[in-house]
Each structure stands twice: as C-alpha cells, then as structure tokens.
Amino acid sequence: MMKNVRTDFTIRKSTHEDIKIMVDIWYKSSVIAHDFIPIAYWQENLEAMETIYLPSSENYVILKSGEIIGFVALINQYLASIFVSPENQRLGAGKELMKFVKSIRNNLELKVYCKNEPTVQFYKSQGFSIIDNSIDDSTREKEYVMQWIINN
C-alpha cells in the first residue's frame, strides 16, 4: 500500500563520505528483505561491502530532505544493488532510482533471490524479465537473472 506522501527526491553520484551510510542502508534492508538467509551472512559481508564492493561500483544516492535514504550500485550494465532504507520504503524512492538508472543505461541485468518475491515483483513492474536461473555461490540460494532492455 502506497503511503500518501508527496516527496521530492534528489539523486547524485555518491562520494567516499557516503559509503558508511550506504553500507548501513544495505545491511538493514538486506536483513529484512532476506530473512531466509542467516543474519551472520550479512554481518560477515559488512567490511567487504564497505571496502571492496561499493568502492568498485558506480554508485548514486537518493536523498529526501537532504538525507541519504537509498542508493543504487552499477557495474557496467549490471545492477549490483538497489536499496532504500526500511523506514523510507514505499515512498517511490526505489522507482525514482530505477528511472534514473534507466536514463543512463540502454540495458540492465541483475540477480535477485527467488524467495525475495516482493523485490521480484518490483523488478517486473519496472519492465524486467526473468531470463535465467542460477544459484548464488555464497548462500546456495536460488536466484533469478533478470534483464531490462530499452524499447527503441
């Protein structure tokens, strides 16, 4: 259910100073969205997210009233991460981030856990199609490979 809140968002390229906030959003959101994965997995990956994954990605943050509430991480045409803080979900920030990345890419691919049905549905609503299945090496969970291609 969509909250009746009119929010204006700002999206900008992230800076090094944003990384800790992004990691916090990633962690809090991941624990909730992926309750089928032990919390220890997310805790064990905090440092790698901060020192390896986010620094090696092309990242954009979304702000509401000057505060970072979410981000998207890209590696070429791969949408590596898109997260909105739990308290700011369902305000349209995820859709705004998706609209933004579609404006800077002609096609996108991503992987999403099959058990994360709300997120699978979100991606489908954003024009993504399931093109393959795989198993995540680190969690052994089934995931979908999804793709979006710009309609010319």
Pairing of strands 129-135, 58-64: unpaired
Which residue ranges in the chain fall short of pLDDT 70? 1-7, 152
CA distance 64 to 41: 30
Span 15-46, pLDDT tens digits: 999 999 999 999 999 999 999 999 999 999 99
Looking at residue 26, its pLDDT comes to 97
Looking at residue 7, its pLDDT comes to 65
Burial per residue of 84-121, b for 16 or more beta-carbon CB atoms within 10 angstroms, e otherwise: bbeebbebbbbebbbeebbeebeebbbebbeebeebbe
Looking at residue 42, its pLDDT comes to 96
CA distance 29 to 133: 23
Q: Are 131 and 145 in contact (CB under 8 A)?
A: yes
Global pTM?
0.91
Looking at residue 32, its pLDDT comes to 94
Which residues are within 8 A (CB) of 99 and not within 5 positions of it... i.e. 6 or more apart?
none
